[in-house]
Amino acid sequence: MLKTTKIRIGVLISGTGTNFQAIIDGCNAGNIHGKVVFAGSDNPDATGLNRAAKHNIPHFVVDYRSILRSFDKTPEKIRLPRDFNFKDALSKTRLFKQNTDKNRIKRFLITRAIAEAKLFDKIKGFKFDLIALAGFMKKLSPYFIDKISALPEKPCIINIHPALLPAFPGMDGYADTFDYGCKIGGCTVHFVDYGEDSGPIIAQKAFEINSEDTLETVRAKGLKIEWDLYPESIQLVARNRVKITDMEI
Query: Rounded to an integer, what distance in angstroms lies between the CA atom of residue 115 and that of residue 109?
Result: 10
Query: Rounded to an integer, what distance in angstroms lies between the CA atom of residue 93 and that of residue 202?
Result: 22
Strands 201-208 and 184-191: antiparallel
Please report the DSSP string for 191-226 in residue order: E--SBSS-SPEEEEEEEE--TT--HHHHHHHHHHHH
Query: Rounded to an integer, what distance in angstroms lies between the CA atom of residue 92 and that of residue 84?
Result: 13
Query: Rounded to an integer, what distance in angstroms lies between the CA atom of residue 125 and that of residue 96?
Result: 32
Rounded-to-10 torsion of CA 104, 105, 110, 114: 90
pLDDT band at 244 (very low <50, low <70, confident <90, very high): low
Mean pLDDT of all residues belonging to the chain: 93
Q: Is residue 246 scored above 60 in pLDDT? A: no
| All domains in the chain, ordered by first residue | 7-238 (3.40.50.170)
Per cent of the chain over pLDDT 70 is: 94
Is the peptide bond between 44 and the residue preceding it cis, with omega within 30 degrees of 0? Answer: no
The most distant pair of C-alpha atoms in the chain lies apart, rounded to whole Å, by 55
Q: Which residue has the higher pLDDT, 65 or 249?
A: 65
pLDDT band at 221 (very low <50, low <70, confident <90, very high): very high
Task: Compute the average pLDDT of residues 197-217.
Answer: 97
pLDDT value of residue 149: 80
Query: Rounded to an integer, what distance in angstroms lies between the CA atom of residue 76 and that of residue 191?
Result: 36
pLDDT value of residue 153: 54
Q: From the centroid of its chain, how far is CA 10? A: 11
Tens-place pLDDT, residues 132-184: 999 999 999 999 999 998 655 567 999 999 999 999 999 999 999 999 999 99
Q: What are the catalytic residues?
A: 161
Task: Compute the average pLDDT of residues 215-238.
Answer: 97
Q: Is residue 76 scored above 60 in pLDDT? A: yes
Query: How deeply is 173 buried, as exposed, middle or buried, from its count of CB atoms within 10 A (0-12, 13-18, 19+)?
Result: buried
Q: Is residue 192 scored above 80 in pLDDT? A: yes
Q: What's the start-to-end Cα distance of the chain, in Å?
A: 28
Judged by average pLDDT, the poorest of 3-12, 89-98, 158-167, 186-195 is 3-12
pLDDT value of residue 247: 42
Query: Rounded to an integer, what distance in angstroms lies between the CA atom of residue 22 and that of residue 86?
Result: 37
Q: Is residue 219 scored above 70 in pLDDT? A: yes
**Which string of b and e fits 34-51 if b means at least 16 CB within 10 Å?**
bebbbbbbbbeebebbeb
Helix residue ranges per DSSP H, the chain: 18-29, 49-54, 64-73, 86-92, 102-123, 142-148, 173-180, 215-238
| pTM of structure | 0.94
